[in-house]
Amino acid sequence: MKTEIISYQDQHQEQWDKFVLNNEKACFYHLSAWNDIFKNNFKIKNQSLIAIENSEITGILPLFEMKNIMQQKFLISSPFTNYSGLITNSRDTESLLLAKADEITKKTNSQYCEFRQIKELNLNSPKRDNFVTMKVDISKNLDEIWQNTLQGKVRNQIRKAQKSGLSINKTNNVSSFYKIFKKTMHRLGTPAYSKKFIQSQLDVFISNSYLLEVTKNNVNIAAMLVCHYKDTVYTPLACSLVEYNKYCPTNLMYWEVIKNHHETLKWLDMGRSTANTGTFSYKQSWGAKEFPLHYEYILGKASRPPIVDATNNKYNQIIEAWKKAPSWVVNFLGPKLIKFLPEL
């Protein structure tokens, strides 16, 4: 039976999510609900593709048409997330989806089409392999995780947090979270997502997400967005007030996530890092193992893949300037600029 490649439509939502649920290579960021989240928050065009055979989905490619800060078009499989990308049941179906993506790249006059993959596509084209995602196996007895997975420094920092009068609770108070989040992003030199974007994730994934909040003396000092799906819990956003970091609230939050999910899930995905950086070493101290991320490209009008990397000198200058900008400027401009920077 011939495989047909079609564009995703709203009526495909249930069938798409069934494929995601039953495919071991699919993750939280493949769920169809992200289509509406991206559309409603960033006004980006959905170009996602489906492979159909005998009325059944045999492959999917989340794909979105965007513009960079220079208003040049590009396509990307996983905007504002670390990975999802193309998944199929066969190599032949993969080739058909890639051919269609190539066609859309040319038709839209896009600079490039980017695939953010866990499973390498092995395209005969440029790629970026400098990123990894860091995952901790939490499917063990809690005492075993404490003694054998966490490094001594991490255990000491968790103890310090516990002895420092910190309280930690689940919450859905996005306003409280956002006050800490926008200060953290300003300190790091990166535009912040809008509060609406974070709220929409909690609303859409109401049974798969929550916020953690840490307080000291009734002051909210740290917070984390937690999402879980299938066998993995994700912590895509974490923030803290720098003047309280000496109490190790972030360590307390990660430990709380492990306690909440170790009996039912296998992995804690601590997110993307570049090897041999500070965040990479921090996640290693939690016992996290590195899983390579493969960012692969079909080139359109561009002659090479984009270079968007915080370690690049050009971006260091922009980051430092953003850090020094007044709060009212970054709070106003940040949510407007971030839609042009899905690589960050």
Per-residue pLDDT tens digits for 133-167: 999 999 999 999 999 999 999 999 999 999 999 99
* DSSP structural state of residue 154: H
- Asked if pLDDT for residue 105 goes beyond 80, the answer is yes
Look up the CATH architecture of domain 133-292.
Answer: 3-Layer(aba) Sandwich (3.40)
Topology agreement, domain 4-129+294-306 and domain 133-292: yes
What pLDDT score does 309 carry?
61
> Considering the entire predicted model, what is its pTM?
0.93
For the cut 90, the answer to whether the pLDDT of residue 318 exceeds it is no
CA geometry: angle 300, 36, 95, nearest 5 deg: 40
Sequence ranges of the domains in the chain: 4-129+294-306, 133-292
Burial of 146 (0-12, 13-18, 19+ CB in 10 A): middle
CATH class of 4-129+294-306: alpha beta
The answer for 16, left when phi > 0, alpha when psi is -120 to 50, beta otherwise, is alpha
